[in-house]
Amino acid sequence: MEQVKVLSVEGSPFATRILIALEEKGVKYEYQLEDLLSNKSDLLLQLNPLYKKVPVLVHNGKPICESLIILQYIYETWGSEKVLPAKPYERALARFWADFADKKTRLNSRPKRDMLENLKFLEGALKEMSGRRSLPFFGGKDFGFLDIALAPYVPWFHIYETIGNFKIPFETEYPLLDAWFKRCMERESVKKLTPSVQTLERALEIRKRLV
């Protein structure tokens, strides 16, 4: 029998995307929370000695690190469909925008300006990759790699609005993203794994202290 375990922290979008992918594929898994501030487990230090961070996917005793690499591994291991688009250019776009989202969610001194600018870029990417064909997801008609990579960031926008004391005008300025957000939140895997506001606030404090 396969053994699947995920080492994570509460509220982490990087870990949440792994759990969403496992839920989407119907893979049973064990979940272990880590304390990254003061009490990293011996298991985490053993499985990821280089970075000492989460998430880590352990499949039959073998660790896989870095969330986007784990995400691709999940689909290659448990999915018959391809996790990334068939065409090389579209695959490159999906990898680029997933990496963009990860790098552009860092906390900084100008959250409103940067957040609105980054959302504008993502709105344009969604239009280029699917909007012009009126397809529901970044991956086209199916909830795919880039959708799973980005979906865990959706509940974080409320936190960023609170930090920056502003309201993001999704419906008027980012209508494609707004519709995509709502479609993502309708999926059982995303609804099940969306953390509470309190969990996100705790995660935010941890991220601040780890920076």
* Model confidence pTM above 0.85: yes
Position 106 confidence tier, pLDDT thresholds 50, 70, 90: low
Q: What does the pLDDT read at residue 206?
A: 73
Question: pLDDT at position 122, please?
Answer: 93
Asked if the model's pLDDT at residue 211 lies above 70, the reply is no
Quick one: pLDDT at residue 98?
A: 93
User: Does the pLDDT value for residue 111 go beyond 70?
Assistant: no
Above 70 in pLDDT, residue 202? Answer: yes
> Over the stretch 67-77, which tens digit does the pLDDT of each residue have?
999 999 998 99
Please check whether the domain covering 4-78 is classified as CATH 3.40.50.2000: no
pLDDT at 114: 83
pLDDT range class, residue 57, cuts 50, 70, 90: very high
Domain with CATH 3.40.30.10 in the chain: 4-78
Give me the chain's average pLDDT, please: 88
For domain 88-196, the CATH class is: mainly alpha
Q: Please spell the DSSP secondary structure of 131-190, one letter per residue.
A: GGGT-SBTTBSS--HHHHHHGGGTTHHHHHHHHHT----HHHH-HHHHHHHHHHHTSHHH
Give tens-digit pLDDT for 139-193.
788 898 999 999 999 888 877 787 778 888 999 999 999 999 999 999 999 999 9
The share of the chain scoring above pLDDT 90, in percent, equals: 54
| Contact of 17 with 156, CB cutoff 8 Å | no
Buried b (16+ CB within 10 A) or exposed e, 44-54: beebbeeeebb
Q: Where in the chain is the domain with CATH 1.20.1050.10?
A: 88-196
Does 108 score more than 60 pLDDT? no
Indicate if the pLDDT at residue 87 is higher than 80. yes
| pLDDT value of residue 181 | 93
